[in-house]
């Protein structure tokens, strides 16, 4: 009798535990099914809390095993936009824990952005009385969306654009096929380097210009240090006619534009240059008015005077230097460089490699020592 009672109590306890475990399983499954909706609602709230902007995501996929979530069709737009062009679109963003960083004792994340587009429409962004988010607003939003520090960033087939719809003609300057990688952004791999994080990018500009950016950065500082070089080669200058017509009232029949630049920042002190070269440029003679013909004639004479006659290049080197709150181009040095190219020596079509991070750091320390 007592054995039967004990057996029945045991069965009840077992049934109770099974019922409890079943309840937990049902709760877990329910929570797992609702989790994407919960995260989606949170992300939409964060995007809509940005001053002056409204945003949304279409869907969220959760991958608990690999500690990741995938954001599908993120869109961000000015709240009072004059056009229907979104400021930011990301068809897919994969945000996950970087597991290999755990072996170095850090919990960090990696982000893969597939085909992101950032389009700056002047009519949408440059309006009076607009509510503008400051750096802290954007930082807080990023912290909410990615609560773990980002250590690796990868962009596949991105696009950057500048658009001015009301310009005559319409301005549409872009850079697409953007591929970018940045590593060790949170110093997972500790070393003695001043610039521990490599960054590399390639893209194709309007006019089929080949773009390459390469360098190293240190973003853990309040003002990031960096030493980067940029080259944009073989732009068909006729693709820029909408820009030159709008701002200079001239357009080109032919020509090639190359741009080279280096920038170094150390302890908030910046030094660099921008070197554009225009080759075999010919202006269009449209003959549609005396003043237009006069202006194009002046530009043509100016181009002849400042052209290196042996290479048929118009070029200059624009230096800039100073702290990040007061960076000014050296106007006199720019003029000297124009004449130097025209009459003394043609600039080489490459990066000069004369901006060194160590030199800039020494100058930054010298500036700090000044009373």
Q: What is the pLDDT of residue 88?
A: 94
DSSP one-letter code for 154: E
Residue 370 pLDDT greater than 60, yes or no = yes
More confident residue, 294 or 370: 370
Q: Show the tokens assigned to 145.
A: 């969306």
- Determine which of 37-46, 100-109, 157-166 has the lowest per-residue pLDDT on average: 100-109
Distance CA(68)–CA(62), nearest Å, equals 6
Choose among 153, 160, 163, 236: nearest CA to 203: 160
Q: What is the pLDDT of residue 116?
A: 96
Residue 353 pLDDT greater than 70, yes or no = yes
Q: What is the pLDDT of residue 325?
A: 67
Residue 82's pLDDT band, with cuts at 50, 70 and 90, is: confident
Label residue 7 exposed, middle or buried (CB < 10 Å: 0-12, 13-18, 19+). exposed
Residue 72's pLDDT band, with cuts at 50, 70 and 90, is: very high
Query: Helical H runs in the chain?
Result: 2-48, 122-125, 135-145, 241-248, 290-305, 331-339, 357-369
Choose among 166, 169, 318: nearest CA to 243: 169
In this prediction, residues 76-93 reach a mean pLDDT of 90
In this prediction, residues 131-137 reach a mean pLDDT of 68
Q: Domain map of the chain by residue range?
A: 50-190, 231-371
Residue 138's pLDDT band, with cuts at 50, 70 and 90, is: confident
SS3 80: coil
Q: What is the pLDDT of residue 156?
A: 97
pTM: 0.79
Average pLDDT of the chain is 79
């Amino acid at each position: 009798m007592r054995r039967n009672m004990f057996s029945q109590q045991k069965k009840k306890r077992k049934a109770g535990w099974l019922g409890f475990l079943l309840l937990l399983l049902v709760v877990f499954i329910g929570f797992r099914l609702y989790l994407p909706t919960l995260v989606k609602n949170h992300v939409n709230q964060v995007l809509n809390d940005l001053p002056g902007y409204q945003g949304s995501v279409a869907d969220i996929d959760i991958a608990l095993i690999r500690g990741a979530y995938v954001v599908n069709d993120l869109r961000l737009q000015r709240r009072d936009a004059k056009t229907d062009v979104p400021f930011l679109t990301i068809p897919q963003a994969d945000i996950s824990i970087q597991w290999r960083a755990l072996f170095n004792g850090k919990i960090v994340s990696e982000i893969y952005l597939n085909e992101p587009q950032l389009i700056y429409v002047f009519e949408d962004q440059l309006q009076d009385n607009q509510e503008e988010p400051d750096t802290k607003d954007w930082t807080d939003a990023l912290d909410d969306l990615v609560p773990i520090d980002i250590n690796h960033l990868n962009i596949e087939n991105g696009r950057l654009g500048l658009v001015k719809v009301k310009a005559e003609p319409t301005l549409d300057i872009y850079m697409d096929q953007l591929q970018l990688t940045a590593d060790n952004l949170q110093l997972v791999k500790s070393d003695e380097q001043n610039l521990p994080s490599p960054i590399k990018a390639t893209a194709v500009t309007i006019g089929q210009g080949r773009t390459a950016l390469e360098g190293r950065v240190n973003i853990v500082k309040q003002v990031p240090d960096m030493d980067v070089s940029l080259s944009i080669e073989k732009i068909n200058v006729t693709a820029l006619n909408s820009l030159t017509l709008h701002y200079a009232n001239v357009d080109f029949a032919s020509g090639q534009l190359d741009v080279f630049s280096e920038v170094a920042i150390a302890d908030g002190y910046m030094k660099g240059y921008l070197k554009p070269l225009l080759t075999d440029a010919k202006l269009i003679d449209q003959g549609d008015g005396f003043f237009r013909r006069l202006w194009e004639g002046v530009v043509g004479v100016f181009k002849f005077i400042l052209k290196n006659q042996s290479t048929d290049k118009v070029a200059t080197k624009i230096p800039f230097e100073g702290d990040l709150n007061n960076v000014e181009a050296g106007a006199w040095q720019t003029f000297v460089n124009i004449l130097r190219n025209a009459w003394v020596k043609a600039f080489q079509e490459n990066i000069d490699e004369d901006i060194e991070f160590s030199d800039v750091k020494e100058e930054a320390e010298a500036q700090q020592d000044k009373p």
